[in-house]
A and B are shown apart, each in its own frame.
Chain A
């Protein structure tokens, strides 16, 4: 499996060169020349994937769509899908033999690969589950048991971000609140100016968690928030948690691997989960849950909620068998490394280019619409929030849902939109932000279409109030 060295200056990837040229394109409404990703001659390192190969890998994507929402559901190249199908067929061919001889060793192999990727200490620390939602249930169930069994006092706190993912909030309600925990949501500013804002708000949030002699038993922190999307200064927050005596830190990095740097030792959390189907090209669905081994072994009270005959054999083993199911998405993980290593710089190269391109596209849109980004470029990874023109009159969550549907149905653009309620005293604030993603299959034309669609709506005097229910 050839691992490519970073490009020399002289042979900079065509992405880099493109971005240099692109920044000079005008924003005065004149159509700049259409995406040249495909057409420009490239100088590529040996074994690097060509743009036509990339197109072919994603030829199953609906060609009519400007698919600029990789963040929600991710993507999977056809060569990985083909390998997944092989695994599925192996099971169907002779399922008993597969169960007895093939399944467990190959799940172990996937776990080993992930462990190396994320710089975990032991394979034991890595469990594979369906998605971050499942991982959240596992960690929160453990917290619930501690409340129920009196290890935590009723009223002890669990602190999370106000922007925590909706499903995670419900999981906290179902497991923590129900078993007697007190939940504190830390409000974060948006738009965000700097990491310090977040750090300060979080520190204050921990303080209120500790008020009245309570302990903060769990801090649940996103690595990259979903909506609105911002990269959280996670290392600093984990440090603060340690200083402030928080029992456990759980990092929800649904947008983790393939999006930001995921180094377990550096980050230092007790639990860390990331989906692989979002930014790591896995088929739906597969995620890992990292559980730091403490000095006396991995937390023994962690269990997969779907209990099988493997109960009690450790979370990783429990998760490797939750009844008869299709485990193929979990089995292709080793093959994904081969895919990403066909790109210059491997996954790190992909991350870097995605980041540069999404910032570039974001700034292009901002210039065109006269709005702003939701955060500084260094606080985003491969997704960025871009303000929508105020005149569109976005005024509710329902507005953004309907506007999103309009963009999908009328313009074949797929983009999630965030409603940012106006703050007190704000005059004509931007209340709608699109979250654009950039992944290897994206092209500037995708974002031009969004740019032009919004401009058309503005030109036509469109208002969200006109959208019917």
Chain B
């Protein structure tokens, strides 16, 4: 295969791939899947794929081959193997996301790195007088904490102001989100300011909701927002990603969450513009000034192997019916099915309607658990991990004054949600274990205030 040839370089190098990897033909069976994830800890209901993702054994094997090739003769690899290998990965991604040009696609470690790149650039514009002090960056209040800190570090520090849009949650329709966002943009423009950057999650992390990102970007354009950065950490492998359709200036997604890559790799899309875009990788190497894809392809000696296995991941997902789309659809359907099962069992609700979920769903926890703070949520999560071997993140919903909130079947206020994920290695029993754990806690009148210490 072409990708192999490029990867293996000249004819004298070992064709490690052909010699080592068993050629499995056809669709993966149940037992194949179990075997691919045999390295996952058994006995754990691992229903949090959203946080750290997963990587199948065959992709780990491919990664190891890249690592060994480097260790074997690192100079030769640096001069002949690395960049072509990265280009192969970038090309696969570019095609997947419908970018115009592979030069729009850079590989970085993770979405956190991409945020630093965008925000450093915005910061420079403030520092160098291109933006006026008090011009704004608009984002959702539930933007990932690292992104918020990055804004503090690079934008607030130099006088930029921020506007946080409160995400309605639980949410019932896209319209609720769109109108909240419009309000946020108006605030951002108040007093003659310009909104220099809007940061929009494609899929928010906590609480987890699929946002109508195409509509939101359109509104940004209509309302004169200078640049739009879509933080789509969870997107690729969760939801269809068409960067042209979405129309953002910057778009980042992690591939180690839902796209089966080893930790860690993200693609960072920067729409081509006729003018100099002034985005740079913050770790400056001798490639500085040669364009972000080239800068990111060499940020000093490191293990780049996780960025080189993308073609192998394509092979992996194509062994599933419907390829990555089939996986996405099945994950979504199962997550929703399990979510409804849990909501029914607990007498609670889903955090958003099924069409606003991906392979992750928020389900209200029974009010009787008395989750009253972020610390309670963390305690409960640890307890579920330690006592029931269930790995699931818990979200505390701090209601604001005037917000009514949703009540559970017992008429208590729902203050917390679990975020369940479904990935190909999950089974119904995983969610049943969660269901029963919560039911038992409620039955035993355990609350966050009287959780037994571990």
Contacts and interface: CB of A to CB of B under 8 A. Distances in A.
Nearest to B108: A306
Interface string A29-72: 00000000000000000000000000000001110010101001
A225 interface: no
B263 A94 contact: no
Interface string B310-344: 00000000000000000000000000000000000
Interface residues of B, number: 64
Interface string B393-419: 000000000000000000000000000
Contacts of A326: 262-264, 303, 306
A136 B285 CA distance: 10
A292 interface: no
A89 B39 contact: yes
Given A131-B302, A322-B109, A76 B71 contact: yes
Given A137-B284, A171-B284, A323-B113, A96 B303 contact: no
A74 B70 CA distance: 11
- How many chain A residues sit at the interface, stated as a range, is 35 or more
Interface string A329-357: 10000000000000000000000000000
B263 A325 contact: yes
B284 A167 contact: yes
B72 A60 contact: yes
B162 interface: no
Interface string A80-99: 01000000010111111101
Given A311-B149, A414-B76, A305 B301 contact: no
Given A81-B71, A285-B301, A307-B115, A323 B289 contact: no
Nearest to B288: A170
A195 to B, nearest CB: 28
A134 B71 contact: no
A420 interface: no
B92 interface: no
A284 B303 contact: yes
A148 B430 CA distance: 53
Nearest to A168: B284
Contacts of B391: 94, 96-97
Contacts of A312: 149
B153 A134 contact: no
A309 B247 CA distance: 28
A305 B78 CA distance: 25
Contact of A414 (B53, B75, B301): B75
B286 interface: yes
Contacts of B124: 178
A96 B51 contact: yes
A285 B302 contact: yes
A370 B115 CA distance: 55
A190 interface: no
Contacts of B120: 305
Interface string A303-328: 10111111110000000001111100
Interface string A162-199: 00001101110111001100000000000000000000
B145 interface: yes
Given A91-B263, A170-B288, A174-B288, A284 B301 contact: yes
Interface string A370-398: 00000000000000000000000000000
A303 B153 contact: yes
A60 B285 CA distance: 29
A438 B146 CA distance: 43
A130 interface: yes
B190 interface: no
Interface in A90-137: 91-97, 99-100, 130-134, 136-137
Nearest to B280: A174
Contacts of A451: none
Contacts of A171: 284-285, 288
A275 B302 CA distance: 11
Contact of A95 (B52, B146, B284, B288): B52
Interface string A250-275: 00000000000000000000000001
Interface in B44-73: 44, 46, 48, 51-55, 60, 68, 70-73
Interface in B249-281: 254, 256, 262-264, 280
Contact of A277 (B287, B288, B289, B301): B301
B88 to A, nearest CB: 20
B132 interface: no
A148 B154 contact: no
Given A93-B39, A308-B146, A322 B284 contact: no
B69 to A, nearest CB: 10
B56 to A, nearest CB: 10
Given A73-B78, A307-B146, A308-B146, A174 B300 contact: no
A455 interface: no
A74 to B, nearest CB: 8
B62 to A, nearest CB: 14
A203 interface: no
Contact of B153 (A148, A311, A323): A311
B74 interface: yes
A186 B288 CA distance: 22
Nearest to A78: B71
Given A73-B78, A93-B40, A306 B116 contact: yes
Given A60-B71, A284-B70, A92 B112 contact: no
A175 B70 CA distance: 31
Contacts of B78: 72-73
B300 A92 contact: no
A96 B264 contact: no
B222 to A, nearest CB: 31
B282 interface: yes
A62 B72 contact: yes
B91 interface: no
Contacts of A62: 72-73, 76
Contacts of A311: 146, 149-150, 152-153
Given A94-B44, A137-B283, A309 B288 contact: no
Given A95-B52, A148-B158, A311-B152, A324 B263 contact: yes
B101 to A, nearest CB: 25
B299 interface: yes
A323 B112 contact: yes
A362 interface: no
A133 B283 contact: yes
B52 A324 contact: yes
Nearest to B48: A96
A201 interface: no
A283 interface: yes
Contacts of A60: 68, 71-72
A326 B282 CA distance: 19
A408 interface: yes
A91 to B, nearest CB: 7
Nearest to B73: A62
Contacts of B79: 405, 408
17 contacts: A69-B75, A76-B71, A89-B39, A92-B39, A92-B60, A174-B284, A178-B124, A285-B300, A306-B282, A307-B149, A311-B149, A311-B150, A312-B149, A325-B110, A325-B263, A326-B264, A405-B79
A-B complex: 10 closest residue pairs judged by Cβ atoms = A133-B300, A323-B112, A305-B282, A95-B52, A73-B74, A311-B149, A170-B288, A166-B286, A131-B300, A323-B110
Given A96-B385, A311-B149, A323-B113, 9 more contacts: A73-B74, A97-B385, A171-B285, A283-B303, A303-B153, A306-B109, A307-B153, A325-B263, A326-B303
